[in-house]
Amino acid sequence: MHNATVCNKIYSVLPERGIRLLTIHPGSSSDRIKCDIQVATLTDLPPSYCALSHVWGSDLEKESILLNGEEFYVRKNMAETLCCLRRAEQRVTFWIDALCINQDNEDEKNVQIPLMGKIYENAERVVAFLGQHQDSSDNIFRILQSLDQEQDVLKLLKKLDFDEASKMNDALNKLLTREYWSRA
């Protein structure tokens, strides 16, 4: 089924200060992504959710997910993001602009975009998804965790030999040049 037809089923008109929240069903990395969208309002205390900051990615490659039981096509990197956010045994709820705002409805976007500050403010936490694991990004996060736990940063840095320091510098450079940091 084409997304336009599915959009009419999924994206009902929102109440004043209403938002949609996306619940990602549990599953393994090989399972099809299943999500549900529900409506909440910012005037009432919305259910607990995380807000996602992410890169939209290319519109050329699409993958299907199940959204409210309907086949729905999303950008490939959104499908990958949902797969990374999904937990094995519990549902997780997110506000994700690409899915929680009807992107085919300009009137809705004109109402929702000004609410984004409040949406992020009300979130239990904001997750910045920098992209799929690549290069040596796991090394830089391991080192950053060590820095967080180490009271004396200079002491920690002295423990690194030249090769480790070079790898850390390379990993940090790759992390900081990802598309996430230059998005609009």
pLDDT value for 147:
66
pLDDT value for 157:
66
Owning domain of residue 124: 1-128
- For 99, the 3-state DSSP assignment is helix
Phi, psi of 8 (to 5 degrees): -65, -30
Whether residues 32 and 92 fall in one domain: yes
> 103-109: long-range contacts (C-beta < 8 A, 24 or more apart)?
104/3, 104/4, 104/7, 105/7, 105/11, 108/11, 108/14
Whether residues 97 and 10 fall in one domain: yes
pLDDT value for 111:
96
Of 85, 107, 128, the domain-final residue: 128
Whether residues 141 and 124 fall in one domain: no
Burial of 109: CB neighbours in 10 Å, binned 0-12, 13-18, 19+: middle
Whether residues 24 and 111 fall in one domain: yes
Contact between 140 and 175 under an 8 Å Cβ cutoff? The reply is yes
pLDDT value for 117:
95
R_g of the chain computed on alpha carbons: 19
Whether residues 93 and 174 fall in one domain: no
Whether residues 120 and 171 fall in one domain: no
Count Cα atoms within 13 angstroms, Cβ side, for 159. Answer: 9
Of 94, 109, 128, the domain-final residue: 128
Whether residues 25 and 106 fall in one domain: yes
pLDDT value for 1:
43
Whether residues 117 and 141 fall in one domain: no
Average pLDDT for runs of 10 along the chain of length 184: 72 94 95 96 87 86 94 93 95 97 95 96 91 70 67 66 72 75 66
Whether residues 103 and 174 fall in one domain: no
Whether residues 72 and 163 fall in one domain: no
Whether residues 146 and 99 fall in one domain: no
Count up the domains in the chain and report the number. Answer: 2
Q: How far apart are CA 160 and CA 110, in angstroms?
A: 51
Taking Cα atoms as reference points, which of 180, 8, 10, 17 lies closest to residue 99? 10
Q: How many CB atoms lie within 10 A of CB 90?
A: 9
- Calculate the CA 98 to chain-centre distance: 9
